[in-house]
Chain A
Amino acid sequence: MHFDSGDTAWVLGSAALVLFMTPGLALFYGGMVRSKNVLAMMVQNLGTIAVVSVVWALVSYSLAFGPDAGGGFIGSLRLAGLAHPNAPVPGLHLTVPPLAFCAFQMMFAVITAALLTGTGADRMRFHGFLLFAAIWSIVVYAPIAHWVFSPEGWLYKRGVLDFAGGNVVEIDSGASALALAFVLGRRRGWPRDVMAPHSLPLTVVGAGILWFGWFGFNAGSALAAGTLSSQAFVSTQLAACTGLLGWLVVEKWRTGHATTLGAASGAVAGLVAITPACGFVNSMAAMLIGLLGGITGVLAVSVKFRFRYDDSLDVVGVHGACGVVGTLLVGVLAQQGAGGHLFAQQALAVVVTMAWAFGLTYVVAQLVERTVGLRVSPEIEVEGLDTAIHAESAYDFGNVRAGRIGG
């Protein structure tokens, strides 16, 4: 087999860029939680990288991209354990080695599961969440990836367009987050007590890493280095910018202040919205999608207060809502095929993805909660997860804690 070295270099580099998004997410979320829980947030993200990567190699890659096992619903286990690493990926005409594609998609599985740490902030057990993430990536992520990303998947065959994961990553994580929020329940004191971010500078650095990594996520999804990846790259940048501006304008109008957290969140909202569309629309449409993403995000994060579910760091509001907006807008703004038929397919994908992700996540989370436990005890929640679970504190500002080795 002959592969294009330029394409291969770009896809491998993009895989590394997408991996970097998860430590970025750890900073983005870590800054938003209270100082007693920042390390727990970060180690949950690191743990997710490890667990989901291993599960991906063992089974989920094969379930997502292996030869279809029937009806476009799930892949077979022929590629389990990364067997047949040089066999062509069914349906795809790649100019890169199949393992490069596998590595790139592995990082998508990682970041999607990692997003769920944001919903469970301040109250999830470490090993409970890792078990949840392992099962979740098999029963929720892999099937949806097969339906939408694999050319043998049933939604792909219906013509659904999802360039880089509006369905597979964003709507999937958003709907799953809602179910997880219901199973976990609200944090003690929410929404009465102040649970303000403890370090927005961390959040801004994290948002910057996410933004940077998103170029690999979106432009890398072209799976080749050329005109398509270039368009996706430019669309990604423009949508992040209009998303940021859209969020700030609405925020200024509603609360009287343009905030740092709003700027960081708006950029992410714009990036989420352009994810399904970045290779299918022109630059002006990308700006519009990003703008609508930013506006959607700033309005959607208030919904949880009305319906009283504690989606702590707004995975539903940002990834779910903006993912839906971007996915539907592909049906309106795609350069090829836009119209009623495509819009209907996009809407079908939205509904089916939400239903599967919400339903199965609810079951998996309940299963874990009732066996090993997913939520910490009230004592641990009050003390803070960092010292209670991990025996560490993030910040030591002085020497008044008078300790000695060995206690």
Chain B
Amino acid sequence: MRLVTAVIKPFKLDDVKSALETFGVHGLTVSEVNGYGRQKGHTEVYRGAEYTVDFVPKVRLDVVVSDDDAADVVDVIVKSAATGQIGDGKVWTTPVDELVRVRTGERGPDAL
């Protein structure tokens, strides 16, 4: 099993979620995060004083999938999250040793 993690533009969340559902991923975890990459932050002005806000709001997706599906899921996310503009985000995968469904106690791929 692999954990697929994606950091994407918040307004692309619906597109990514639909694409994943179509592909057959039936659960994911979403969190609001802040960060920066090549897209720097933005400037805010309060009574003439300019503040540079370094961190840009993003949405982070975490989804555990089988080893066979991992590459495809990454592709699905990349395709549905892309705008071609700077700040589109990143997708990466990490190996998962153990997975348990809390309700039933199922382990491994059965818990997906």
Contact = CB atoms under 8 A, between A and B. Distances in A.
Please list the 3 inter-chain residue pairs (A to B) with the smallest Cβ-Cβ separation, ordered nearest first.
A301-B47, A194-B51, A255-B45
Contacts, number: 28
A305 B46 contact: no
A254 B47 contact: no
Nearest to B54: A194
Given A191-B49, A305-B49, 8 more contacts: A196-B51, A251-B45, A255-B48, A261-B46, A262-B47, A298-B47, A302-B48, A314-B47
A337 interface: no
B97 interface: no
B86 interface: no
A265 interface: yes
Interface in B45-78: 45-51, 53
B55 to A, nearest CB: 11
Interface residues of B, number: 9
10 contacts: A191-B49, A194-B51, A194-B53, A196-B44, A196-B46, A251-B45, A251-B48, A255-B48, A259-B46, A305-B49
B31 to A, nearest CB: 13
B48 A301 contact: yes
Contacts of B45: 251, 255, 257, 259
A128 interface: no
Interface string A241-275: 00000000001001101010110010000000000
Contact of A298 (B44, B48, B50): B48
Contacts of B50: 255
B67 to A, nearest CB: 34
A116 to B, nearest CB: 18
A337 B48 CA distance: 38
Contacts of B48: 251, 254-255, 298, 301-302
Which residue of A191, A196, A265 has the most chain B CB atoms within 10 A of its CB atom? A196
Contacts of B47: 261-262, 265, 298, 301, 314
Interface string B65-105: 00000000000000000000000000000000000000000
A259 B47 CA distance: 8
Nearest to B47: A301
A36 to B, nearest CB: 17
Contacts of B46: 196-197, 259, 261
A244 to B, nearest CB: 14
